[in-house]
Amino acid sequence: METALLVAVTLATCAFALLNGFRDAANSVAASVRTRALGPRVAVVSAAVFTFAGTMMSTRFSEALVDLADFHYESVAEGLAVLLVALLSGGAWLFWCWRRGMPTSSGHALFASLAGALLGHSLLHPEEPRSVPLILLFGIALPIVVTPLVALVLAYVVTIPTTWLIRHASPTDAARGGRAAQAIASLAVALGNGLQDGQRNAAFLTLGFVIMGSTTAEDSIPLWIQLLCATCMGLGALGGGWRIAHTISNRMVRFDPVRGASAQLVAATMLFLGAQVFHLPLSTTQAVTSAIVGAGASQRFETVLWANVGRVMRFWVLGPVVCCAAGTVLMLAVHPLVV
């Protein structure tokens, strides 16, 4: 039973990483393709390569997430079932949102589903300690408040000196320089996506082997797990996530190459600092989307479609609630099968 569940967790993690890379490729390619800084094929391949590289760059963030998500369990089978339920619940929500073209957070979906699965398990075993409050606080509550607000404000502020510096440049020169900067910025976002989401997936799979007893939470992330998750993220990114890319670049805000570059540089910086310095799981989707809205809002004429922005934000708030509830219900349903 335990071995079968571990195999299922491994396969589910790979599928989640593929879906994660597929959806989040939009964060890297949307703005650069919209302003023609990169061609669609070049943008997608570059996003896949740099997402892979970001996942392989370090294990510090993965190890921090293993410590955050580590929990006690009644048996090995029940612990693995919690992980499997979280992956299935979070993946189902992300797939549904992709079908609707909604840029939602993969990390929040996974952490909320994990918290829900743990909550369902605690209803059956109330005597066991749980890390649900920590997961909800550091995995969802803080990032969902900090990321959009900081990204929006910083992008708005950064565009002010940037546009002032190019005030005497011709529109052609400004657009050419903006596209060059944006091409670099899109690669930085893909790298940050690997540092955040790729390493989070590696941490989640490592947690399965910690539960199985094959490794401990104090050990480093196994290289093969890191390589497997990096490969799945990179292969998923080759899909481009064009439905979500269209929402980000066309249905929310109109922007020029200079503002697109400013937004993506702000988002990439936040992802790097969150992963490597603060060990805070930030949403790539929320960082990029909010930064683009902030940069677009700095223009003199109205370019932000606030009705569509509000609709996306409602999904950001609704997502953790739905995933937590789904994780709880699904855990209660599968529990009799693993005891």
Q: What value does the mean pLDDT take over residues 222-243?
A: 93
Highest mean pLDDT among 3-12, 123-132, 254-263: 3-12
Cα torsion through 36, 40, 42, 43, rounded to 10: 80
Residue 253 β-bridge partners? 304
C-alpha 61: how far from chain center: 14
Distance CA 256, CA 254 (A): 7
What is the pLDDT at residue 75? Answer: 84
pLDDT in tens, 135-178: 888 888 889 989 999 999 999 999 999 988 888 888 889 889 98
Confidence of residue 128 (pLDDT cuts 50, 70, 90): low
Q: How far does Cα 21 stand from its chain's mean position? A: 9
What's phi and psi for 305, nearest 5 deg? -90, 90
Q: Is the pLDDT of residue 35 over 90?
A: no
Q: Which residues, including other chains, have CB under 8 Å from residue 169's CB and lie 6 or more apart?
A: 177
Can you give the pLDDT at residue 312?
94
Higher pLDDT, 302 or 159: 159
**Whole-angstrom Cα distance, residue 103 to residue 290?**
11
CA distances from 42 to 36, 121, 194 (A): 11, 46, 18
Output the pLDDT for position 122.
86
Q: What is the mean pLDDT of residues 107-136?
A: 85
DSSP bridge pairs for 304: 253
Q: Are 82 and 119 in contact (CB under 8 A)?
A: no
* Burial call 212-250: b when 16+ CB within 10 Å, e when fewer: beebeeeeebbeebbebbbbbbbbbbbbbbbbbbbbbbe
DSSP H/E element including 149: helix 142-165
pLDDT digits (tens, 9 = 90+) for 275-289: 999 888 999 999 999
Closest CA to 288 of 32, 64, 19: 32
Nearest one of 138, 148, 14 to 64, comparing CA atoms: 138
The predicted model gives 286-309 an average pLDDT of 88
Reading the block at residue 26, the tokens are: 């939009």
Residues near 280 by beta carbon (within 8 Å), at least 6 away in sequence: 138, 142, 143, 146, 274
User: What pLDDT does residue 67 have?
Assistant: 80
Q: What pLDDT is stored for residue 20 in this prediction?
A: 95
Domain limits, the chain: 2-338
| Residue 57 confidence class, pLDDT cut points 50, 70, 90 | very high
